[in-house]
Amino acid sequence: MTTFSDLGLSQKVLSAVADAGYSIPTPIQEGAIPPALMRRDILGIAQTGTGKTASFVLPMLTLLEKGRARARMPRTLILEPTRELAAQVAENFEKYGKNHKLNIALLIGGVSFDEQDRKLERGADVLICTPGRLLDHCERGKLLMTGVEILVIDEADRMLDMGFIPDIERIAKLIPFTRQTLFFSATMPPEIQKLADRFLQNPERVEVAPPSSTAKTVTQRFVAAHAKDYEKRAVLRDLIRAQEELKNAIIFCNRKLDVADLFRSLERHGFSVGALHGDMDQRSRTTMLANFKDGNIQLLVASDVAARGLDIPDVSHVFNFDVPIHAEDYVHRIGRTGRAGRPGAAFTLVTKRDTKFTDAIEKLIDLKIEWLNGDLSELPAPMESHENGKSDRRKSERDGKRGGRGRDRDRDRGAERETERAAGHKSDTKRDDSAVTTEAAVTAKAEPVRAERKAEPKPQTSNRNNSASHAANNDNRDRRNRYRRDQDDGPTPVGFGDDIPAFMLIAGKA
């Protein structure tokens, strides 16, 4: 049986690998490390979770033991599609390169340029970055790429999906043609094969598993669900609760908005859950990922930013809340579980509109995936849910606002109005008597007022009008407030009710 000591690695690297607890290389490591040490270009194809990262980190550490980095002139360059992958590769260099005195610079978005510039000024033996941030530094005149000896393009198919290929082509023109190139991918569609042919010179092809295959240790199931989001959430909650051996799980959604909605729903139902998507700032993403790795949260709702290459060794389950649109993404998503030979389980919620995507997945992986508890033809009728009820109430409230008082409020007050109409004659009689009494009182109060006004100097009209207008406005506001307070609790006032505005008590000119 082949061991790491048989691959030609240096003693410093072998010591670090032994300290990490590894002795037997995986097939991709066994096939890629020897030719990489011989400065050959590598085209590595292997399913996710098989140790592709170590297959280029370990030979790079051995080759970098000779030579020194100069300021702003990195010796090696590793391109990653996401910040999380870049940070993870940096962790691998720190773990396996603990016996080396190498400067490692991580250039990713969401981090200060000044801090990254200081690392570059010290000289970087290993430069790990996302394409966009690397080009930003180059355009600012902070990097000189003519000293790069080794170029690593990791997760090449993801680079293609994210539109990084033009950036990679620009970067390749900045690097010497005589470089060594290591090209790794879990899938190898025709577009990626054409890209590899442009970047690689007589490469050593290392293919240890059929392209786009999934690990045999992962149990895969489709789960039928209705298309409504609240129904899918209910199915997902029941599915999570039914897993007896669930240690932790990643739940994938297609959109960032769905990640936020599902996170809030699971949190309301008492699950230990976190969220991860591309719109979060780098500090929040790093903290959330660390909490999930450390077991502080059990469920991680994520977009495809977490689907590629994240090394969380002991994820027991993966749930696809949405069927991925690209079949290759399914391979990467379920590859987060069942890593390094461990058992895992992957469940995908499927609606009737997702059948073309599931057909593409089964064709890609050349495997017929079984259904859990019946397929779509056996799906029961949709059930009314608590969340749906709340949405209906919100709709009714919106309709009520558009219709003045609202249909529902009028319906609830119908009985009270019928009672008012039944007692209408008595009420009208009392109002008439009250009006006569009030009119007499007003007249009695108005007579002495008129007499006093004849004896006093005539006040300025503007002041009197302003005072009257101010009092009228205050009284109107009070009446409106009383009406708002009472409109849901009692009958609608008729006319002025028992209150007469102050401006009605102001006598006119004699």
Name the nearest CA neighbour of 155 among 55, 47, 212, 80.
Answer: 80
Structure tokens at 268: 């309301």
Is CATH 3.40.50.300 correct for 218-381? yes
C-alpha span between 41 and 36 (Å, rounded): 7
In this prediction, residue 499 carries a pLDDT of 63
> Sheet holding 104-107: strands in order across?
104-107, 126-129, 76-79, 150-153, 180-185, 42-45, 204-207
CATH code matching the domain that covers 4-207, chosen among 3.40.190.10, 3.40.50.300, 3.40.50.150, 3.30.390.10 = 3.40.50.300
pLDDT at 491: 45
Residues 235/349, Cβ–Cβ less than 8 Å: yes
d(CA 445, CA 465): 20
User: In the numeric block, which tokens belong to residue 228?
Assistant: 């409504």
β-sheet bridge partners, residue 451: none
CA of 76: how far to CAs of 42, 128, 165, 203, 223, in Å?
15, 8, 19, 18, 45
Please, are residues 491 and 405 in contact by the beta-carbon 8 Å criterion? no
Please give the pLDDT value at position 212: 67
Rounded CA separation 196/210 (Å): 17
Q: What pLDDT score does 49 carry? A: 66
User: Could you tell me if 121 and 72 are in contact, meaning their C-beta atoms sit under 8 angstroms apart?
Assistant: yes
Quote the tokens at residue 418. 């019928």
Length of the chain, in residues: 510
What residues contact 293, with CB distance under 8 A and at least 6 apart?
Answer: 312
- H helices of 175-278, in order, are 190-199, 229-242, 256-268
How would you class 431 by CB atoms within 10 Å of its CB: exposed for 0-12, middle for 13-18, buried for 19 or more? middle
pLDDT at residue 348, as a whole number: 97
* Spatial contact of 222 and 371, defined as CB atoms under 8 Å apart: yes
Which helix (H) or strand (E) element contains residue 94? helix 83-96
Residue 183: closest CA among 42, 46, 328, 35? 42
Q: Using an 8 Å Cβ cutoff, are 194 and 222 in contact?
A: no
Domain ranges for the chain: 4-207, 218-381, 415-505
Q: Which two tokens stand for residue 483?
A: 């009406």
pLDDT for 218 equals 92
> Which of 195, 225, 179 has the alpha carbon at shortest distance from 76?
179
**Torsion angle, alpha carbons of 109, 110, 114, 115, to 10:** -100
3-state SS class at 151: strand
pLDDT 10s digit of each residue in the chain, 510 long? Answer: 789 999 999 999 999 999 999 989 999 999 999 999 999 999 998 776 678 899 999 999 999 998 888 889 999 999 998 888 898 899 999 999 999 989 999 999 888 899 999 999 999 999 999 999 999 999 999 899 999 999 999 988 878 777 888 999 999 999 999 999 999 987 778 888 888 898 899 999 998 866 667 888 899 999 999 988 899 999 999 999 999 889 999 999 998 889 999 999 999 999 999 998 878 887 888 889 889 988 999 999 998 877 765 667 789 999 999 999 888 889 888 988 887 678 899 999 999 999 999 999 999 888 999 999 888 888 887 765 454 544 444 444 444 444 444 444 444 444 444 444 444 444 443 443 434 333 444 344 444 444 444 444 444 444 444 555 555 555 555 555 544 444 434 444 555 555 666 667 676 665
Any alpha helices (H) in 246-381, and if so which ranges? 256-268, 282-293, 327-334, 355-365
Indicate if 218-381 has the same CATH topology as 4-207. Answer: yes
Q: Measuring CA to CA, which residue among 383, 369, 388 is closest to residue 223?
A: 369
